[in-house]
A and B are shown apart, each in its own frame.
Chain A
Amino acid sequence: MEIQFQLLDCDYIVLDNAPIVRLFGKTKEGKAVCGFYRGFYPYFYVLPKQKDKVVEFLKKNFQIIKNIEEVERFKSINYQKEKTKMLKVTLTDPSKVPEVRESLKKESFVQSVFESDILFKYRFMADMGISGFKWLNVKGRPSKTNTVKCDISMDVEDFAEVENPENGSFKYLSIDIETISKDVIPDSRKDEIGIISLTFNPDYNNHKSLSLVAKRTRVRSNVKVFSSEKEMLQEFLRVIEAYDPDLLVGYNINGFDFPYILDRLRENKLHQTIGRCNQKPASSRKFGQQFRNTVTGRVIVDTYALIKESIQKGNLRLKRLGLGDVSRALLNDEKINIPHSEIYSYWHGTEEQLSKLIDYAEKDSVLPLRLLLEKSFIDKFLELSKVSGLLLQDCLDGGEAQRVENLLLREFNLHSFILPDKPVDGTHSEETEIQTLKGALVLEPTLGLHTESVVYLDFKSMYPSIFIAYNICPTTLIKDENNGADTITTPYETKFVSPKVREGVIPAILKRLIFERDKVRDSVRKSSGEIKRILEAKQLALKIMTNAFYGYTGYLRARLYIMEIANTITGCGRFLINRTKEIVEKGTSYQVVYGDTDSIMVKTNTRDLDEAVRIGHEVEKLVNTELDGIVQLKIESVYKSLLILSKKRYAGLSYEKIDGEWKEEIVMKGIETVRRDWCDATTKTLFEVLNILLKEQDTKKAFRYVKDITQRLERNEVPIEDLVITKSISKAISSYKGIQPHVELVKKLKKRNGSSPGVGDRVGFVIVKGMQLLSERAEDPDYVKENKIAVDSRYYIENQILPPLERVFEVIGISKNELTGLGRQMLLKELFRGNRIKPTNGETLQQPLPAYDSFSCLNCDTLYKAVPLAGKCLQCHGELLFEFNGVKSRYLSPTRLT
């Protein structure tokens, strides 16, 4: 038989003292396949000091040695003209490789071992030239086996990768569990699962969702009830088997739902073979704070982890990562509102409450799947799997280094290079004491608001270009000066052999990736629909892989870690940026206002976009000529206005020509526009100020806008909802060491209402006026509205609204003092102090009081029990007055002595 399927997973079993590789995948028709491949064995390399002793040692001590042969290979680090003789040791059992390796390493007749820590599945895939998530054309015979749960099982005789840009159709199953526990954090050893909510794509038996409930309750069409957790789990296993999903999805499924389910299966003495293998149970292992979960033949996708990754890479700006917050922001949808701390009481409550809890759980399984599919978070990883060769699960869970190394393994082996084993802890620590990784260059920016067009140019793939230009690779690095080979010297003064002598493996990989990316980019322009989406993801994956090589070379745990190479790359980068600035400023009348790592910003003398682009091209041509083709500078966009706050912090109104039309976008780098401890008023104000500055370039209007907000705050005209600050209760109240407003509010609510938010809940609060300390003035927003309590406008102005704006206004010439109304310029001071809430009666203030109980500020009404040392209000530096029974005066005239 001959079939084609897309590779999902790969593992092995050992049968009759021989490994059998299993390839799991899905056909275009949606059939699950498992192909068994026999005849491939694990091996590694030994560089002996005494060859015969190594052979003798191995044969004497290990029964599992299948073969030992002498081979010639190139070592990967430092240029060598000739290959080195070494031994290739083949074993019958992959699981024994570590044992053999460790034994050999202890022996004095062994110099070193190579590639002895490559996972067997990746050894197989590299040698066979197959990559994760790619299509395979497989020839073989049907296999009669009950060890796997697949539609098709076959013994593979031959296979090859085939090019197919489309992806197969996969089954997604989203899972959410609700545990029944009084404790803050449920204990999987004793706290049962009450509800398992499942959402399917495509549908399962006409169900989009199905909730399994371990309690008798009202029956609904998508709810199945059971009298015990065990029965419910058994049904869960039946559903998995019947539906046979390819991808298991959830929100923090890796950190919670999945390990919890496995524990409960164990407690209930049920099997955990959730995967496509009848023998291998699913596993969950904790590494530090993270879980690594595996299910044979299936892939676990954690939507939470993907969103977090997106935020870290700067592709998403979100204040909070809760499922509700993310869904609201990205899907315009919400969770069902049940506070986490009330789940237990809902479970034991009325029918209505239980019904609502079931809906809550269902929504919690619907939303992660919607996020994954509608927002295409997984697309990039599908393509990275193909480009790097890693299986999809490892692409999702692993880091960049793993992807790079898998690619290196294949390419190095192709050219007879072998990789060293991964360094053990401490291997490079001495070296790092001597050398440190030197960073990229960031030019000193010209701060302020630039209202003439600024052209943004970047070096196309700078670091990869440097690798290629200087033939930088561990295999070409010259350490021995007397090597005699034809060399290239970099600006960092490291030497590499010329590509005429040997083309470095890494430069070759990079050339191929860049070439492929250009091809894909052209294809993207010509395609549409699903294909276009896949190609765009492929383009992104190729870009990620291309740019990953530089970081890899400076990564201490990398097999091919060489600090000199990492420093060479950045050294060359710094040289190029500096040289570029020199070329532009000496060769033209334009100024470089900023430069960072691989890009520069050149200020033109025009406000016309087309003219700015023309100037950009002029700069491009000049620089590329002068740099002699080492790297290519290219215009990316034009900023019609650009506000530079500091290094790595700027905002600009960017224009890019797409399909002949100018596309406008506000670009922000390094400027925090969303922070968890900001209220909405802060974010809105900051955005609006930037908008005004960049689009209208009107400093005064921006300042007036801020003044208006502060005045509206003083008049209590800003909606309470915009002033709510939210923080979560992450632990028991008694565990908090410090005093925090939201914690003090929880205590207050408990006293007031008898109940309060619990661990895991978010607490929203506003700061109200009063003389107490700040943490005591945190109040429930609803309570504030009901009781018409005045909000502490000064707090919001000084601590929320103004801080993010200070830097912005500072670079455009308005100091912090002026911003807070203290300016030497009367006009600005008056602008902020105008329209006070209480009109001042000049005569009243002159009438002396007989006594005083506090001091209060004439301007902002802040009260003080004792006069500050400064003699002025600490909040606004306003004049202080005596206050007695609510009456204020500048003077005191005591009526009697004590």
Chain B
Amino acid sequence: MDKSEILKHFLNKGIQVNSEALDTLYNHPERLEEITSMSLKELPLVLSEDFILKGRSVKILKQLELKKRYSVEDATELINYRYSFIKTLLAKKNLENLISANRISDKLPKFTLIALVTQVGEREIKIEDNTGSLTLEASPEILEHLLENDIVALVCEKEEGFIKVTEVIFPDIEIKRAVVKSEQPSHITILPTKLDIKNYGKLLELVRKQPSTKIFLLETDIDIGRLKADLSEHEIFFFGGEANNKEEMLYPNPALIEFNNVKIFLTSSNLLSHYAEKWDIDMEKTMTLLLKRRNLNPSSSLHEGNIYFLDIVPDIIIMTKGDPAVYNYKGTTVLLGGDSAVPILWHVDLQTREIFKTSFL
């Protein structure tokens, strides 16, 4: 392929190629062949020389895949995928008298259903499974944290002709899950998304103390060009938003990535606050509830697809909005915060899974 053909090939895929990258591709046909055979998921939006020569150390497992047009079938496919997935997980739990909606009868006054919640009332919910839909009674306590689109197991009792939910069982994360660590020494540093210029020097100082760390930036207002120049010894990964320098490698945001064997979910959206406010509980409890239902954003829109759906459970979740906090839940670490009034720098040792928080104060 000549250079114009190479350029045309990648532009047709929606990928830009900077001039050095084009030269490098032209001069490294074996690498060109490798890269042209990669899927879009694996390629950055802007191909750089760095990428061509080194490859991608960050593997994208999941990202938003936008379409121009969605149909109701897409919505159906999405919900059914989730339903089947969760149903398989729940079915492995020791559920008492597990049946489907069409098998409810007086012979079995206590039973369990795996169902999609389609509507939540004050003291009733409507649910659906593959065999039918029905309305169940439930106390406000049971319904408190249930949302439409939840897929849960419901322990029910038939009482005076009505079916009452007595317990909700979420799919949850496996308790025996091992804590995943990188095999070799590996560190990442998450920079705050907003930073006052007066703290720039401090930032450099803090980062330079960790010479081998990789830098993760999400939707930042920091001047990336300047940062790259000042931290040339570090590898910097930019996730989503408007990169100051469009030629830089841009990773999707939100995204589930794998870096040195550790799966990391990153997003700069304000999900946690949204649900914490809705449920009127603290962030940690909110996070726990979201992890239990295997969905970080149960109210996500159709075009967001399954990005927040935890069919793959991340080892680390990074959300850059919200008050700084760290939680651990069954082997998954959650890091929050990055745009607070006081900028925070997070440093994660992927080999030990230790977290270090540095405030700019």
Contacts and interface: CB of A to CB of B under 8 A. Distances in A.
Interface of A: 737-739, 771-776, 848, 851-852, 855, 864-871, 874, 879-882, 890-894, 897-898
B302 A737 contact: no
Interface string B104-138: 00000000000011110101101011100101010
Interface in B123-173: 123-124, 126, 128-130, 133, 135, 137, 148-149, 159-162
B69 A897 contact: no
Nearest to B66: A897
Nearest to B129: A869
B269 A898 contact: yes
B135 A869 contact: no
B304 interface: yes
B121 A773 contact: yes
Contacts of B301: 851, 894, 898
Interface string B78-99: 0110010000000000000000
Contacts of A855: 72, 75
B303 interface: yes
A857 to B, nearest CB: 11
Nearest to A867: B75
B83 A869 contact: yes
B308 to A, nearest CB: 10
B121 A776 contact: yes
B71 interface: yes
B76 interface: yes
A891 B269 contact: no
B116 A869 contact: yes
A650 B200 CA distance: 89
Nearest to B149: A866
A874 B75 CA distance: 16
Tell which of B66, B75, B80, B162 has the most Cβ of chain A within 10 Å: B75
A868 B124 contact: no
Contacts of A848: 69
B73 interface: yes
A51 to B, nearest CB: 58
A773 B116 contact: no
Contacts of B129: 869
B64 interface: yes
Nearest to A865: B148
Query: 9 closest pairs, A vs B, by CB?
Result: A871-B76, A738-B162, A892-B70, A867-B75, A894-B303, A773-B121, A866-B148, A880-B72, A773-B124
Contact of A865 (B118, B133, B303, B304): B118
Contacts of B72: 855, 867, 871, 879-882, 890
B176 interface: no
Contacts of B123: 739
Interface in B300-323: 301-304
Interface residues of B, number: 38
Interface string B38-80: 0000000000000000000000000010101111110110011
A882 B123 CA distance: 28
B209 to A, nearest CB: 35
A737 B159 contact: yes
Contacts of B161: 738
B119 A773 contact: yes
Nearest to A737: B160
Nearest to A879: B72
B302 A852 contact: yes
Given A773-B126, A773-B135, A774-B135, A866 B70 contact: no
Contacts of B269: 898
Interface of B: 64, 66, 68-73, 75-76, 79-80, 83, 116-119, 121, 123-124, 126, 128-130, 133, 135, 137, 148-149, 159-162, 269, 301-304
Contacts of A866: 79, 116-119, 148-149
Contact of B73 (A774, A868, A871): A871
Contacts of B71: 890-892
Nearest to A868: B128
A868 B133 contact: yes
Contacts of A893: 68-70
B309 to A, nearest CB: 14
Contact of A775 (B79, B80, B124): B124
Most buried by B among A772, A865, A880: A865
A132 to B, nearest CB: 43
Nearest to A880: B72
A803 to B, nearest CB: 15
B119 to A, nearest CB: 6
Contacts of A772: 121
B301 to A, nearest CB: 7
Contacts of B303: 892, 894, 897
A738 B135 CA distance: 12
A739 B70 CA distance: 39
A722 to B, nearest CB: 25
Given A864-B118, A893-B70, A898 B302 contact: no
Contacts of A737: 159-160, 162
A898 B64 CA distance: 10
A771 B120 CA distance: 11
A386 to B, nearest CB: 45
A897 B301 CA distance: 10
A871 B71 CA distance: 11
21 contacts: A737-B159, A737-B160, A739-B123, A776-B121, A848-B69, A864-B118, A866-B117, A866-B119, A867-B79, A868-B118, A868-B133, A869-B116, A870-B128, A871-B72, A880-B72, A881-B72, A890-B72, A893-B68, A893-B69, A893-B70, A898-B269
A771 B121 CA distance: 11
Nearest to B137: A739
Contacts of B116: 866, 869
A874 B128 contact: yes
A855 B72 CA distance: 9
A807 B127 CA distance: 27
A219 to B, nearest CB: 51
A893 to B, nearest CB: 5
Contacts of A869: 76, 79-80, 83, 116, 128-130
Given A774-B135, A868-B133, 13 more contacts: A739-B124, A773-B119, A855-B72, A864-B118, A865-B119, A866-B79, A866-B119, A869-B80, A870-B76, A871-B75, A891-B70, A892-B302, A898-B304
Interface centre among B80, B118, B148, B160 (most CB of A within 10 A): B118
B55 to A, nearest CB: 28
A882 B75 CA distance: 10
A848 B162 CA distance: 41
Contacts of B149: 866
A890 B73 CA distance: 9
A897 B161 CA distance: 46
A57 to B, nearest CB: 55
Contacts of A890: 71-72
Nearest to B76: A871
A340 to B, nearest CB: 24
A698 to B, nearest CB: 34
A865 B149 CA distance: 9
Nearest to B163: A738
Contacts of B130: 869-870
Nearest to A895: B303
B69 A867 contact: no
A739 B160 CA distance: 11
Contacts of B133: 868, 874
Contact of A892 (B64, B69, B83, B126): B69
Nearest to A740: B162
A739 B68 CA distance: 45
Nearest to B64: A897
Nearest to A771: B119
Nearest to A882: B72
Contacts of A774: 135
A633 B289 CA distance: 74
A897 B269 CA distance: 11
A864 B301 CA distance: 15
User: Which of A774, A866, A882 has most B Cβ within 10 Å?
Assistant: A866
